[in-house]
Amino acid sequence: MVNLSVNINGLILKNPVTTASGTFGYGQEFIDFIDLNLLGGFIVKGTTLLPREGNPYPRMAETPSGMLNAVGLQNKGVDYFITNIYPYIKNYDTHIWVNISGSTVEEYVAIAEKLSSLEKITAIEVNVSCPNVKEGGMAFGTSCPGIKAVVSAVRKVYPKTLIVKLSPNVTDIVEIAKAAVDEGADALSLINTLLGMAIDIKKRKPGSFNNNRRFIGACYKTYCS
């Protein structure tokens, strides 16, 4: 038997296969298709302090090599997760991590505190691509001060594995990454989605929805390679 286990700064996964936040719901949506116990871990969808409706429709558009989306972190909030979701997923024999998002440093801290007591949540993934409403909406993860503020505050209240999911929409991701690690991140996950736009060349205009749209798709490989 081949040993596929991986060590993420002390957190041991039985294999390196995990599902990214936002692609796998709360895990249970896929139990008809895959045995969740086989995974090294799964990352629960972006969770905020309070429930969020997300952006108004349309918030998704198909492009030839992927899709644009601006869902806007629609979720029922961390309290709903703790009460209504966690009890049903905690018994899977795999790591369960929660992706957290906030509009202020205080919100990140509050979510981290609530999740820290859940035994089967072995890590949180901090989404720093959210706009900081106290700094005019600039994303936390696009500046060293922004990312330092979030990571250091969360680190103080969250003793388990702290993963920081970096934004690619920066000039120099290395300095952002170093800042996160300096403030206590145990691991980095790369990357959050790239900003994108689809242009109708016949109409000579962008597509029908254009608010903070993110692109995902096959041509990501070209970007990352």
Partner 1 sequence: MPKQIVNAQILNNIRLNDKYFVIKIQPKFPLEKIYAGQFLQLEIPDVKDIFLRRPFSIHDVDFQNNTIDILIQIVGKGTYALSNLKTGKNVNIIYPLGKGYTYTTNSRVLLVGGGCGIAPLLFLAKELKSRGNILDIILGFRTKQDVIEEEYYKLYTKYIHHNRRR
Calpha distance 215→146 (Å, rounded)? 23
- The reply on whether position 65 binds partner 1 by CB under 8 A is yes
- The reply on whether position 53 binds partner 1 by CB under 8 A is no
Identify the bridge partners of residue 162 per DSSP, sorted by sequence position.
Answer: 124
Minimal distance, residue 64 CB to partner 1, in Å:
4
Q: Which stretch binds partner 1 (CB under 8 A): 56-64, 89-97, 98-106, 192-200?
A: 56-64
* Cβ-based nearer residue to partner 1, 64 or 159: 64
Pairing of strands 199-200, 205-206: antiparallel
Identify the bridge partners of residue 13 per DSSP, sorted by sequence position.
Answer: 6
219 part of the active site: no
Residues 6+ apart with CB under 8 A from 110: 49, 102
Minimal distance, residue 201 CB to partner 1, in Å:
13
Minimal distance, residue 35 CB to partner 1, in Å:
13
Calpha distance 115→12 (Å, rounded)? 20
Q: Are 81 and 110 in contact (CB under 8 A)?
A: no
- The reply on whether position 25 binds partner 1 by CB under 8 A is no
Contact positions vs partner 1 (CB under 8 A): 32-33, 62-67, 217
Q: Which residues are catalytic?
A: 130
